[in-house]
Structure 1
Amino acid sequence: MKRGKKYVEAAKNVDRQKQYDTAEAIAIVKKNATAKFDETIEAHIRTGCDGRHADQQIRGAVVLPHGTGKTVRVLVFAKGVKADEAQAAGADYVGAEDLIPRIQNEGWLDFDVVVATPDMMGVVGRLGRVLGPKGLMPNPKAGTVTMDVTKAIADIKAGKIEYRLDKTNIVHVPVGKASFTEEQLQENFDAILSAIMKAKPAAVKGAYLKSVTLTSTMGPGVRMNAVKLMNV
């Protein structure tokens, strides 16, 4: 795969044989984020889980202390008083059955997170084929199926992110933006790591964290010391 000049230059700042401490990794990733836009800093955490087994799944949510640096658009499925509550809490879109054809037939997906009250899940279920593959399906574990729509919206707008295993047993999560200070990125990363460590399934055998890589949107990955991170 041919890489651009900027990537090749940035890669010189990374020792491929080394596993970095968090502070060092963040400093390098920040330095390498030289694109003309504010790059997203991401963590890619390879776990020792086997996601084919239900008792080794990881899924949850965590509110990042400094947010994600991204404006999040929230769609809420609710009726009556709960719909009014969602509007008052700052939801970007609120609706019920009326939104089904818009999403299903017109391909409308101008939102980042979907929240639903439990009574609306029958309606939302009809959108499973559209929302599911995009990771937008509301889920009780992530706090997006709830009667407390005010809290759900407040948390999401404050920087709540979802984490879950992908098919290769890796968790991909945003840590913040390249414009964040190193301290802000460190505190966000610590919050993510703490949540994922707490979510460790009892059935996992061997090392829980196989590898942890920090990267920016356009920059090379920086490997972190997974053993050290497990003992923090």
Structure 2
Amino acid sequence: MLLNLLSQCRSCQSLVGGSSLSTRLFHSGQPVLARQTVRKVPELSKKQLAAKARKRALKAKKSVYDSEKMTLADAVAVLRAVEVTSPNATYELVIKTAMSKGSAIPKGRYALPREPKSRSKDRILVFAEGRQAEEAKKAGADIVGGPELVDGVVSGRHQATLFLCTPALIRNITPKLGRVLGLRGLMPSERRGTVTEDIAAYIRRLKGTSEWKGDKAGTIRAPIAKLHYPVEDVVKNVRYFLNVVKKATGNIRDPQAEKESKNAAPKPVNAIAKVMLSSPRGPGIQVSDF
């Protein structure tokens, strides 16, 4: 009866939505969950990343020697006291440079005033022709030749620790050797002085010298003296080696290198961040006066 009345009354139909109560349908599916908006993590800038790295470094555990700095003479005295039972041990000098990304690994040659160990002999390969080739052989080069040596270097048949080249041949050997020797830091270049007209003079300067080279992070390590050396000799060796590294990294002007490579671009400065002196059983002590 009630349904009949509702179907006849238009006003009642409007109240119930204009549809019959008996024909109303209900959804039987799973309830739809409210959509959850995913918050994107904002990308940090380089400055913000650097600030986070500094905070992590401050929280990290540090050695008691990290903040301890001494003069070079005091560092030598401390290590001598630690190594009192090992007078033949060797001091090691560690120089950390602030090498920027993409810059060349620092390297060079040196001859200490008082050597702590015997030097290793270099095997020298020279790309030269004519009179310059003859002079290179007389000066002591192990392998001398022109572009015909390139294939032997690529295949590994010609092994050497130092490669020199004349300016006339550098363009002929670069296309093939650039990828081989460049990765090893042995490719001749004007900036390092290994591309020169006077090959013989360069070889004569090499006699009695050793090579030093940094790692990929720009850290340079070198044996610098024996524990039984007088303090004055140790200090003299350290000062000499530091000057060599400073010239190679652009911290000190080298007039001789600038004269030899007039057309080369000016050397970028690779700042020295830290200098440490250590011994086999002793701590690494930061040197304050470098």
Distance in 2 separating the partners of 1:29 and 1:148: 46
Structure index of larger Rg: 2
Distance in 2 separating the partners of 1:75 and 1:42: 31
CA drift of 1:85 comes to 0.6
Matching residue's letter, 2:272: L
- Between the two proteins, what is the percent identity of the paired residues? 26
Corresponding position of 1:140: 190
Q: 2:211 aligns with which of 161, 165, 169?
A: 161
- Residue 73 in structure 1 maps to residue 134 in structure 2: no
Distance in 2 separating the partners of 1:178 and 1:195: 20
Matching residue's letter, 2:182: G
CA drift of 1:79 comes to 0.7
Secondary structure (helix, strand or coil) at the match of 1:191 reads: helix
Distance in 2 separating the partners of 1:45 and 1:73: 27
Distance in 1 separating the partners of 2:203 and 2:98: 33
Secondary structure (helix, strand or coil) at the match of 2:169 reads: helix
Q: Tell me the alpha carbon deviations over residues 98-147 of structure 1, each in whole angstroms, 9 at most, x when there is no partner.
A: 21121112x23532111111112123312122211211111222221111
Corresponding position of 1:8: none
CA shift in 2, pair 1:111/1:58, >3 Å: closer
- Residue 225 in structure 1 maps to residue 225 in structure 2: no
Task: Report the structure, 1 or 2, having the larger strand content.
Answer: 1
Contact kept? 2:72, 2:287, Cα under 8 Å: no
- Residue 210 in structure 1 maps to residue 273 in structure 2: yes
Q: What are the within-5 Å matches in structure 2 for residues 1-232 of structure 1?
A: 16=65, 18-19=68-69, 21-22=71-72, 24=76, 31=86, 43-52=93-102, 59=106, 61-66=108-113, 69-105=119-155, 107-108=156-157, 110-125=159-174, 126-159=176-209, 161=211, 163=213, 166-170=215-219, 172=220, 174-175=222-223, 186-198=235-247, 199-200=250-251, 208-214=271-277, 219=280, 223-229=284-290
TM-score, structure 2 normalization: 0.54
Contact kept? 2:126, 2:143, Cα under 8 Å: yes
- Out of 60-69 and 21-30, give the one that drifted further: 21-30
The one of the two structures with greater contact order (alpha-carbon pairs below 8 A, sep at least 6) is 1
Tell me the number of residue pairs that the alignment of Structure 1 and Structure 2 aligns.
200
Secondary structure (helix, strand or coil) at the match of 1:127 reads: helix
Alignment RMSD (CA, Å) = 3.9
CA drift of 1:178 comes to 6.0
Contact kept? 1:21, 1:224, Cα under 8 Å: no
Matching residue's letter, 2:169: M
Matching residue's letter, 2:150: I
Contact kept? 1:49, 1:204, Cα under 8 Å: no
Contact kept? 2:107, 2:212, Cα under 8 Å: yes
Q: Tell me the alpha carbon deviations over residues 152-205 of structure 1, each in whole angstroms, 9 at most, x when there is no partner.
A: 101222205365x654233x2545686995666654432221133342289869
CA shift in 2, pair 1:29/1:85, >3 Å: farther
Corresponding position of 1:5: none
CA shift in 2, pair 1:101/1:49, >3 Å: closer
Structure 1 regions of 5+ residues with no counterpart?
Answer: 1-14
Structure 2 regions of 5+ residues with no counterpart?
Answer: 1-63, 253-266
Distance in 2 separating the partners of 1:155 and 1:121: 21
CA shift in 2, pair 1:71/1:200, >3 Å: same
Contact kept? 2:70, 2:285, Cα under 8 Å: yes
CA shift in 2, pair 1:180/1:21, >3 Å: same
